[in-house]
Amino acid sequence: MTSLIASCPGAASPGPLDHLAAQRVTGALYAPNACFYLRDGAVYCVEGTASPGTGARLGAAGRLPAERWQRARETAGPTHRGGQFLVGEGWLTQGELEICHLGALLDAAFFALPLPPGTTSFTPGTAHWLGVVRAVSAAALQRATAHRRALLDRLRPWAAVDAAPVVPVAPADGGPSPATGRQRRLLESADGRHTPCELARALGQSAFLTLLDTRRLAAAGLVRMPAAPAALPRRRPGACHPVPPTTQSPPPSWQLPVPDLLETPDPDVALLVRLRTALEENL
Amino acid sequence: MSGIDQVLAQAMGIPGVLGAGLTDWTSGLALGTAGRAPHDDHEAAAADTAEVVQAVVRNATFGSADAEGPGLEDVIITSAGGYHLIRFVRTAFDSQTCLHLWLDRAQANLALARLRLRELAAELVAA
């Protein structure tokens, strides 16, 4: 049985996750690029397409071979006790499973929240094969995701590197060098062909932190910004309404700029465009 | 073999401890809590701890970019009334968590608490 959940527009209004949490439901919430599993309204598993899952993280680190993860999935069966099986076999400790699983949950939730209105469906009763390793309240999960979003937004001028292949720039003599070991390893694995999220999946590491580090490296000039469009983004033609010649001059009216035309990877140009837009809005 | 709750329960046995928590320092999400928190707000304690850790982690001064393997170990904050002790949890896989203790200064032994917290951080992921 699948029921569509209507959600309210706007970031501050409660979304589908809040409604399900309030109803203390058990089941699976399907979103465009992630699936949230709930038990009694609390989120205990999130699987997403943008970030590596628990099994991928353990596998990439050499902590748990993919065959054993697969074995647990097959053994879990209708009782959904894959997590207990992994710990019971001595393949993982309870602490490792909890920490790795929560890390994967947070990372997948980051790329899925806030849920776009009208895009989710909920199936009551559906459970994840791993079982409830540890649950997080929907409200706390959304606050945590907003906190991560705020960290990324501080580096907004370098947002263009998010979806582009990571191209390292050789530092000049005496120029900046990577601030952390994580950033240095990211540069080492960047081959100029893979995006931050693809690198995160290959390395089995947090996709959020990979994005954050890529933006920081771009800000330091150690990762190349994608090529900017040749010309400055243009306003929509006729954005300024022609004022008919009258004796009384009416206030000029402006239309909002076309968002697509304002996308530019160059932080300086982006700043100028934002400034121009703000000036126009206050005319 | 210990999970988050068992390790936090053990942390509550450290002399002078008032409260303990395990926090994801990239988001400030409290993954587990025990005992009390300043102003009775575990969530605020987790968020504030995460902010301190982020400031330490992103700066080259506190962890050399050339260092291989585990770098950062503890962050210690002392005040007139208490100690705040933060311990990075090292795992074989990629993770971003820290254990933290709130200690009563009159009761606690900072050196002892640090050693115990180090043991507990290792026990959390030990086979």
Task: Give the count of domains, chain A.
Answer: 3
Question: Among A198-202, A209-213, A253-257, A266-270, which is the least confidently predicted range?
Answer: A253-257
Task: Give the count of domains, chain B.
Answer: 1
Q: What is the pLDDT of residue A251?
A: 56
Domain final position from A117, A148, A179: A148
Q: Which residue has the higher pLDDT, A77 or B44?
A: B44
pLDDT tops 50 at residue A5: no
Q: Is residue A240 part of a domain?
A: no
**pLDDT per position as a tens digit, B53-78:** 999 988 877 865 555 555 889 999 99
Residues 6+ apart with CB under 8 A from B27: A106, A110, A144, A145, A147, A148, B50
By residue range, what is the domain housing residue A210?
156-219
pLDDT tops 50 at residue A268: yes
Question: What phi-psi label fits residue A253: left (phi over 0), alpha (psi between -120 and 50 degrees) or beta?
Answer: beta
Q: Which residue has the higher pLDDT, B50 or A237?
A: B50
Q: Compute the Cα dihedral for A260, A264, A269, A274 and give only its sign.
A: positive
Q: Do B65 and A148 touch (CB under 8 A)?
A: no
Q: Which of B3, B24, B58 is facing A144, going by the closest CB pair?
A: B24
Q: Give mean pLDDT, residues A61-82.
A: 90
Q: Is residue A236 part of a domain?
A: no
**Angstrom distances, CA of residue B2 to CA of A67, A76, A106, A247, B34:** 25, 22, 22, 83, 15
Residues of chain B scoring pLDDT < 50: none
Task: Clarify whether residues A125 and A86 are in a common domain.
Answer: yes
Instruction: List CB contacts (< 8 A) between A181 and chain B.
Output: 63-68, 71
pLDDT tops 90 at residue A2: no
Give the best residue of A98, A152, A153 to mutate against chain B (max B CB count within 10 A): A98
Task: Clarify whether residues A173 and A269 are in a common domain.
Answer: no
Task: Clarify whether residues A207 and A167 are in a common domain.
Answer: yes
Q: Is residue A230 part of a domain?
A: no
Task: Clarify whether residues A143 and A160 are in a common domain.
Answer: no
**Angstrom distances, CA of residue A255 to CA of A212, A242, A282, A283:** 34, 12, 12, 12
3-state secondary structure of A145: helix
Task: Clarify whether residues A97 and A194 are in a common domain.
Answer: no
Q: Do A181 and B89 touch (CB under 8 A)?
A: no
Q: Could you report how far apart the first and last alpha carbons of chain A are, in Å?
A: 54
By residue range, what is the domain housing residue B29?
4-63+70-125
Q: Is residue A237 part of a domain?
A: no
Q: What is the pLDDT of residue A101?
A: 97
Task: Clarify whether residues A135 and A56 are in a common domain.
Answer: yes
Our CA-based measurement puts residue A58 at a distance from the nearest CA of chain B, in whole angstroms, of 6
Q: Is residue A89 part of a domain?
A: yes
ipTM of the complex: 0.93
To the nearest 10 degrees (0 to 180), the angle between helices A138-153 and A94-112 is 60
Q: What is the pLDDT of residue B2?
A: 81
CATH for B85? 3.30.450.30
In terms of Cα–Cα distance, which of A42, A201, A181 is closest to B71? A181
Task: Clarify whether residues A100 and A190 are in a common domain.
Answer: no
- Closest chain B residue to A141 measured between Cα atoms? B29
Task: Clarify whether residues A79 and A128 are in a common domain.
Answer: yes
Structure tokens given for B21: 């928590």
Q: Give mean pLDDT, residues A168-197.
A: 88
Instruction: List CB contacts (< 8 A) between B4 and chain A.
Output: 95, 98-99, 134
Whole-angstrom distance, CA of residue A208 vs CA of residue B26: 9
- Helical ranges in chain A per DSSP H: 16-22, 54-60, 66-76, 82-88, 94-112, 138-153, 181-189, 196-203, 207-219, 267-281
Q: What pTM did the predictor assign? A: 0.82
Task: Clarify whether residues A169 and A279 are in a common domain.
Answer: no
Domain final position from A131, A148, A165: A148
Q: Identify residue A176 by its one-letter amino acid code.
A: P
pLDDT tops 50 at residue A11: no
Q: Is residue A170 part of a domain?
A: yes
Do A102 and A136 form a contact (C-beta atoms < 8 A)?
Answer: yes
**Angstrom distances, CA of residue A260 to CA of A92, A178, A222, A236, A239:** 48, 33, 27, 10, 14
Q: Is residue A204 part of a domain?
A: yes
Q: Give mean pLDDT, residues A52-63.
A: 95
Whole-angstrom distance, CA of residue A223 vs CA of residue A239: 36
Q: Which of A100, A179, A216 is facing B93, going by the closest CB pair?
A: A100
Task: Clarify whether residues A22 and A44 are in a common domain.
Answer: yes
Q: Which residue has the higher pLDDT, A170 or A229?
A: A170
Which burial class, exposed, middle or buried, applies to A64 when counting CB atoms under 10 A from its CB (0-12, 13-18, 19+)? Answer: buried
Q: What is the pLDDT of residue A76?
A: 85
Whole-angstrom distance, CA of residue B72 vs CA of residue B56: 9
Q: What is the pLDDT of residue A180?
A: 84
Task: Clarify whether residues A129 and A163 are in a common domain.
Answer: no
Whole-angstrom distance, CA of residue A126 vs CA of residue A39: 10
What is the share, in percent, of chain A residues with pLDDT greater than 70?
82
Task: Clarify whether residues A21 and A138 are in a common domain.
Answer: yes
